[in-house]
Amino acid sequence: MERRPDSRGKVRDIYDAGDNLLMVATDRISAYDFILPDEIPFKGEVLNRISAFWFDKFADIVPNHMVSIDTADFPEEFAQYRDYLAGRSMLVKKAEPIMVECIVRGYLTGSGKKTYDADGTVCGIKLPAGLTEASKLPEPLFTPSTKAAIGDHDENISFERCCDIVGTEVATQLRDLSLKIYTAAADYAATRGIIIADTKFEFGMIDGKVTLIDECLTPDSSRFWPADSYEEGKVQGSYDKQYVRDWLTANWDMTGEPPHLPAEVIEGTSARYREAFELVTGTEFASMKENE
């Protein structure tokens, strides 16, 4: 797309569209805070269309910023780019971002496992003894973090600190909405053979209301595990970029620029994203881009 975005994240490009924004999910992939030199085919479209699926599904639980993913609804200035934008873009309402990441953990893994092993807590929350890798937690935990700039790391914070940052009323809404959406999503995903181990939500204010924004329950913002191979006590396979992370860990010392990925890693990762789409939505993945 020739037009320069008004802002750019690791994966998404954002364009001002008057009263709205146009969010474009590219095929870029990041790992360990680096944007990798190779793209993953169909990744952006999968992320965008999975988000749209969840926004529709949970519209009765929480308002969201989605206006449309149909390019026919986009402003005329984007008409010449419709083929590129098809499937991977979303017209959204402008929101004032709330500057905390809303993380919900349903299972013990990742950074939570490390702190639990050290002192029996996850983000300062005391948990029962005897849990191990991939243990289901007694109840889902709301563990917010700060929103770091690109290249920096988010910092886990307590609920009390979250209240200090955004105010008790808003923090309480963030916690309650995050747990409600996660629980509903996890219950649904279980019927599709997926365990949602954890996820990250972002919220903003639109017309004075706390509103779900950015992406929602995608393989980039969540850990999706296949239920049929779940086994407590071991690291689970997942429908996300863990395949890429594992290859980088084995083949790169994390210094200098990240290396190019082998073709089999690119295609294997693309296949995992497409499989996640099909499992979540219950529909076969077919690109909306006309010339694919």
**pLDDT digits (tens), the chain, 292 positions:** 778 899 999 999 999 999 999 999 999 999 988 999 999 999 999 999 999 999 999 999 999 999 999 999 999 999 999 999 999 999 999 999 999 999 999 999 999 999 999 999 999 999 999 999 999 999 999 999 998 665 566 789 999 999 999 999 999 999 999 999 999 999 999 999 999 999 999 999 999 999 999 999 999 999 999 999 999 999 999 998 888 999 999 999 999 999 999 999 999 999 999 999 999 999 999 999 864 4
pLDDT for residue 243: 87
- Give the whole-angstrom CA distance, residue 156 versus residue 111: 10
Q: Which domains does the chain have, with CATH numbers?
A: 96-229 (3.30.470.20)
CB–CB of 287/87 below 8 Å? yes
Q: SS3 for 131? A: coil
CB–CB of 26/39 below 8 Å? yes
Q: Please name the residues in contact with 255: beta carbons below 8 A apart, sequence gap of 6 or more.
A: none
Q: Please name the residues in contact with 118: beta carbons below 8 A apart, sequence gap of 6 or more.
A: none
Number of helices followed by number of strands (H, E) in the chain: 7, 16
CB–CB of 47/218 below 8 Å? yes
- Give the whole-angstrom CA distance, residue 229 versus residue 290: 36
pTM over cut 0.85: yes
pLDDT for residue 2: 78
Report residue 165: phi and psi, to 5°. -75, -45
Q: Please name the residues in contact with 70: beta carbons below 8 A apart, sequence gap of 6 or more.
A: none
